[in-house]
């Protein structure tokens, strides 16, 4: 069921105020600001990443580099939604919103517990504003904010009914599409990604986005 126009406009105003405050956040001294946001996109679908990479703060959008290309390809092939449509119609969030910096070995640093805790309030507010029907966490760290995830092959390809606060939603996890991880390229990961994307493509919230996108292109 679609929200009435006045509800949509109120949600848009709340999101715009939320994103403005988010961009000003400097609560975590070890991360590298600014916070990265996909913008105030009112949507029934949320994609939740782990943390921005080194390029995202400069490009000012989430999933802006190699991993994003893979993620958007999955959606275009399975759901018929290209990158521009996804950015315009899906709300992008993350476990933490600033680039964590580099670890001593040169890889991206894993967010610390206090950084995750500091950022969790932003996500809680987004759930209260959006009340999403479908949430897609991308990567093990993102998945673990909602359900237990000891092994990816135990959760990828499955759908879960989850609650956060007073909001109930379907959760369909995806692995992180990083080129550094082979999991989604080999069995059983490759087949489980196909299964997960099939479930996502059949979800009514995604079908609504697809139909809306097709109408706007006519």
Residue 3: the pLDDT is 58
| Cβ 148 vs Cβ 184: under 8 Å | no
How far apart, in Å, do the first and last CA atoms of the chain sit? 23
At 1 the pLDDT is: 45
pLDDT of the residue at 216? 73
In a 10 Å sphere around its CB, with 0-12 CB exposed, 13-18 middle and 19+ buried, how is residue 148 labelled? exposed
Say what the pLDDT of residue 197 is.
99
pLDDT digit string (tens) for 25-53? 999 999 999 999 999 999 999 999 999 99
CATH, domain range 5-216: 3.40.470.10
pLDDT of res. 215: 74
pLDDT value at residue 8: 85
Q: Any idea where the domains of the chain sit in the sequence?
A: 5-216
Query: With 0-12 CB in 10 A as exposed, 13-18 as middle and 19+ as buried, what is 35?
Result: buried
Phi, psi of 204, deg, nearest 5: -60, -35
CB 6: neighbour CB atoms within 10 A? 8
DSSP state of 102: B
Cα separation, 196 vs 207, in Å, equals 15
The per-residue pLDDT for range 116-134, each reduced to its tens digit, is 999 999 999 999 999 999 9
The residue ranges of the chain whose pLDDT is under 50 are: 1
* Model pLDDT, residue 14: 97
* Confidence at residue 7, expressed as pLDDT on a 0 to 100 scale: 82
Closest CA to 205 of 140, 136, 157, 145: 136
pLDDT at 4: 58
């Amino acid at each position: 069921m679609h929200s009435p126009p006045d509800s949509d406009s109120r949600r848009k105003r709340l999101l715009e105020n939320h994103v403005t405050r988010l961009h000003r956040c400097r609560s975590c001294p070890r991360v590298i600001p600014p916070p990265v946001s996909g913008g105030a996109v009112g949507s029934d679908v949320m994609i939740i990443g782990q943390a921005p990479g080194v390029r995202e703060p400069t490009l000012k959008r989430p999933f802006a580099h190699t991993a994003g290309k893979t993620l958007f390809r999955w959606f275009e092939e399975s759901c018929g939604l290209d990158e521009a449509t996804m950015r315009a119609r899906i709300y992008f969030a993350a476990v933490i919103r600033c680039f964590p910096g580099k670890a001593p070995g040169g890889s991206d640093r894993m967010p610390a517990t206090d950084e995750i805790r500091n950022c969790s309030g932003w996500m809680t507010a987004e759930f209260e504003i959006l009340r999403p029907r479908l949430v897609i966490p991308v990567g093990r760290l993102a998945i673990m904010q909602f359900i237990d995830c000891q092994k990816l092959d135990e959760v990828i390809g499955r759908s879960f009914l989850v609650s956060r606060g007073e909001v109930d939603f379907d959760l369909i996890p995806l692995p992180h599409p990083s080129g550094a991880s082979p999991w989604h390229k080999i069995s059983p990961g490759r087949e489980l990604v196909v299964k997960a994307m099939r479930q996502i493509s059949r979800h009514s919230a995604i079908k609504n986005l697809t139909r809306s996108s097709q109408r706007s292109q006519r």
